[in-house]
Amino acid sequence: DGGITQSPKYLFRKEGQNVTLSCEQNLNHDAMYWYRQDPGQGLRLIYYSQIVNDFQKGDIAEGYSVSREKKESFPLTVTSAQKNPTAFYLCASRPQGSYQPQHFGDGTRLSIL
Amino acid sequence: KNEVEQSPQNLTAQEGEFITINCSYSVGISALHWLQQHPGGGIVSLFMLSSGKKKHGRLIATINIQEKHSSLHITASHPRDSAVYICAVRSNTGNQFYFGTGTSLTVIP
């Protein structure tokens, strides 16, 4: 079945460490997104990519980095520069076209040790 | 101020009740989405609307473009409907999506 796979489901990070969250899709979607969800807030856009080898910053990109070397994959690295990384991270993808919905993964919950 | 506002934030209903969740937005949009997030965190897209009304099973979504308002209705609510319902809009000026903070629904048997 087609879908979006995020791994791991739970991730723990020590202070000063970088961690990478995986997002893979087999839906042949061009656009991919990373969102952060905090309690009491709506999803906030970290980065998005509309095509391979291209990506744009969202509203809260500081302390994060991404790559898009393959259409299927859009990994997110949470760097040590992100001072408050504890959150729920959601990856989404969408085919081209204005009237196409986003498809979401099941999320990764990141916690600081 | 958020571009998308939802009400209520929390809602508790008895099984069988008719439920309405409201969404107002302040930006020009190309489409509005209703999403469902279950306790495990995964999100499912329920509806995408650009005008009028859509129905899927016991769920009905409406949108009034002039008033920048949408409603999600659940008829004959059931405990399995318990989830967070999120309204999201896609801006008509780019690829940006804006999300409401969600409405947490609990349906009691």
Using an 8 Å CB-CB cutoff, list chain B residues near A30: none
CB contact under 8 A, A106 and B45: no
Pairing of strands B69-74, B83-91: unpaired
Interface of B with A (CB under 8 A): 2, 4, 30-31, 33, 35, 40-45, 48, 50, 86, 88, 90, 95-102
Q: Measured between beta carbons, which residues in chain A are less than 8 angstroms from residue B2?
A: 42
A38, A50, A95, B26 from A76: Cα distances, Å: 17, 15, 20, 30
For residues A84-89, give the mean pLDDT.
94
Rounded (5°) CA angle A43-B87-A57 = 35
Q: Closest residue of B to A6, CA-based?
A: B42
Closest CB to A102: pick one of B4, B42, B45: B45
Radius of gyration of chain A measured on its C-alpha atoms = 13
Mean pLDDT for chain A?
92
- Closest partner residue to B41 among A48, A92, A106, by Cβ? A106
pLDDT at B41: 84
At residue A1, the pLDDT reads 62
B72-95: pLDDT as tens digits: 999 999 999 999 999 999 988 877
Q: How large is the average pLDDT for residues A74-99? A: 90
pLDDT (tens digit per residue) in A42-75? 899 999 999 999 999 999 999 999 999 999 999 9
pLDDT at B39 over 90: no
| Model pLDDT, residue B1 | 63
Cβ proximity of B6 and B22 under 8 Å? yes
Nearest to A78 by CA among A14, A29, A24: A14
The confidence score (pLDDT) of residue A67 equals 97
